[in-house]
Amino acid sequence: MGEFSRFSPPRMFRTPRQAPLTNPPIYGTIISRKIIIEIRRDTMKPIYLDHSATTPLDPRVLDAMMPYFSEHYGNSLAVHSFGRKAENAVENARDSVAYLLNCRPHEVIFTGGGTESDNLALRGVAQYAYVSGLPFTIITSPVEHEAISATARQLRETLDAALRIVPVDRYGFVSADDLRGALQNLPADGITLVSLIHTNNEVGTVNPIAELAAIAHEHGALFHTDAVQGAGQFVLDVEALEVDMLSLSAHKFY
């Protein structure tokens, strides 16, 4: 066999020189020893596969909302006719959500999204405990959405809340025994909030929320679940789940 330069590939592996193609008609064209992959945007149609992150707006929702963008745009708290029409729309929506979750309409609170909903749950209870002068304990897991975990850490720093982390198994499940262990030796006169995710947004683990909520209540604790990722995939009945608070985000489901 002949000798080859350390800087030059054997002839059998060399690519013949070609004039650069300004508009290659196919992908996979070899140009100057490089493979150029070009997606023809005029012939390829993208397919959206990220519905777990956010869903496209349902055309029926857009049709239902259009009158309130163009005609019935009043402040829903105003006493004039524009305001009353907007208020009726808000209350009808509240009734629909309450029916979906099997709760009372006044228990439905509209927020700007899942993160705000999680914050309202944790901060609302924490502020009540703080102004009441009562010890406050948050119990959560290491696989929560950052909207929960970051808020819990901040409440520990700013309002002196006690933070307990329940371990999870290799699949991300919280066990009943571990939760019972975390609920031991709590301040007798304090307020405790357990916040555990319903459906994990990273690995898809679905926790046994009804069982975990029942254990929390046995120990006098409140229970919140972030069900943002589970909405639209599971029936979310707050009575059956026995939760005190539940977070949803409408952009995740139809």
Global pTM value: 0.81
**Tell me, what's the pLDDT at 215?**
99
CB 228 within 8 A of CB 252: yes
Q: How many CA atoms lie within 13 A of 39 on its CB side?
A: 4
**Tell me, what's the pLDDT at 253?**
84
Average pLDDT over residues 103-130: 97
Taking only the tens place, the pLDDT of each residue in 9-59 is 444 444 445 555 455 444 444 444 445 555 555 667 888 988 888 999 999
Question: How, if at all, do strands 245-247 and 162-165 pair?
Answer: unpaired
In a 3-state reduction of DSSP, which class is residue 96? helix
The token pair at 109 is: 């609170």
Taking only the tens place, the pLDDT of each residue in 187-242 is 989 999 999 999 998 999 999 999 999 999 999 999 999 999 999 899 999 999 99
Average pLDDT over residues 84-103: 96
Q: What's the CA gap between 76 and 73, in Å, rounded? A: 9
Q: How far is CA 66 from CA 59, 69, 73, 95, 250, in A?
A: 11, 5, 10, 20, 17
Q: How many CA atoms lie within 13 A of 77 on its CB side?
A: 0
The token pair at 122 is: 């944790």
Question: How, if at all, do strands 29-31 and 34-36 pair?
Answer: antiparallel
CB 223 within 8 A of CB 217: yes
CATH domain 112-252 topology: Aspartate Aminotransferase; domain 2 (3.40.640)
Q: What's the CA gap between 242 and 238, in Å, rounded? A: 6
Which residue from 50, 104, 48 is spatially nearest to 239, judged by alpha carbons? 104
